[in-house]
Amino acid sequence: MEIYAVRAGDTLYSVAKKYSVDPSRLADANQLADPSRLAVGSALVIPGYGGGALRQAEVNGYAYPNIPAAVLNATLPYLTFFCPFSYSMTPDGALLPIDDRPLVFSAYAANTAPLMTVTNLGSSGGFSGDIAHAVFTDEAVQTRVIDNILSTLREKKYYGINFNIEYVHPFDREGYNAFLRRAADTFHPLGYFLSTAIAPKTSDAQSGLLYQAHDYAAHGEYMDRVIVMTYEWGYTYSSPQAVSPVDRMRRVLEYAVTRIPPGKLLMGFSNYGYNWQLPWRQGEAASVVSSAAATALAASVGAEIRYDAVAAAPYFYYTDAQGRQHAVWYEDARSWQARLALVEEFALAGISIWTIDKLYRPGLEVLGGTFSAEKIV
């Protein structure tokens, strides 16, 4: 896979000529909003370069039910699993439904296995440790959850389940493990595929509400796949920084493979970035930006894109029309390539993309030029 970093004076046509590629194909592969304006320092995927036999890898993608059909259909060929997000458990064991029938149908049409995503999202929209506690500690509530999941699996024809249960109280760690064991004992004999999503830890003793109740070894024992959410170092309320710095992802994986068989691991893969206003102040929220929108923004304001080689992440600074300074960190073709290299380095099963709601064609070009998505349905 060839990736070219734009230099001052480059045009779409000069780069296309350099690589003997049709300019329109080059523009399409890189999802250029304005092909006449290239941001200096931006990464361009050169379509048609590379080749040879590709190793298969598993690719999971999360999406909200309102994902545009065109975006979903463009992405499904690259996916092994697809997780519509999400069925929320309630404290009494009910599941809040989503409009997922068209999504499940589209997944199977693309030979992609749909997984029913089950979460502990509360009424405020955030993850609720109290909901998880009710499910883990009240046998009647837990039985209703299990029964409701099974009913939905059968009704909607899901291939399996993804448990994305976060911010669990530390004292519920063993309760969570027992819940997963019961899920495995219930659903595996019926032929259902089971997976979980867990926080990015570097040791079992790592403190913090996000981490303590996630027992890597137990998840690896009971589940068929485990998604390690290796993203959100840069997040809404953090200081400006990479969302998924490769150096920190590597440290998480170094620990993860000592507790979970690498062939069960899917590495979390961010497909977005953040735009921070400067100077950064604690408590001020950054705005989410898609990779395509970030690249277009840099080109429109004439910003030079820089690349942090340690984090393997692009970033740039600019001043808006009101005179306010901004810092933007996001993902590009180079950061996709660097993160995909970790799959080979650690012999992982594959990756899990959060989320596929915003199409990023250069990333899919890199993915498709690196791995062939394994299809199991």
Classified as helix, coil or strand, 336 is: helix
Residues paired with residue 55 on neighbouring β-strands, in sequence order: 371
Which residue, 115, 55, 52, is CA-closest to 86? 115
Beta strand pairing status for 43-46 and 2-5?
A: antiparallel
Separation CA 193–CA 48 (nearest Å): 36
Residue 347 · residue 57 · CB < 8 Å: no
For residue 282, the tally of other CB atoms under 10 A from its CB is: 7
Residue 303 · residue 316 · CB < 8 Å: yes
- In the DSSP assignment, the letter for residue 243 is S
Residues of the chain by 3-state class (helix, strand, coil), percent to 5: 35, 25, 40
Beta strand pairing status for 81-84 and 55-63?
A: parallel
Classified as helix, coil or strand, 226 is: strand
Separation CA 231–CA 271 (nearest Å): 10
Instruction: Sheet with 273-278: list strands edge to edge.
Output: 287-289, 273-278, 325-329, 313-319, 306-308
Q: Helices 291-301 and 361-370 sit at what angle, rounded to 10 degrees?
A: 120
Q: Name the helix (H) or strand (E) containing 270.
A: strand 265-270
Residue 365 annotated in active site: no
Classified as helix, coil or strand, 352 is: strand
Identity at 361, one-letter amino acid code: R
Output phi, psi for 315, to 5 deg.
-160, 160
- Catalytic choice (166, 331, 365, 374): 166
Classified as helix, coil or strand, 314 is: strand
Q: What is the largest CA-CA distance in the chain?
A: 68
Q: Which residues are catalytic?
A: 166
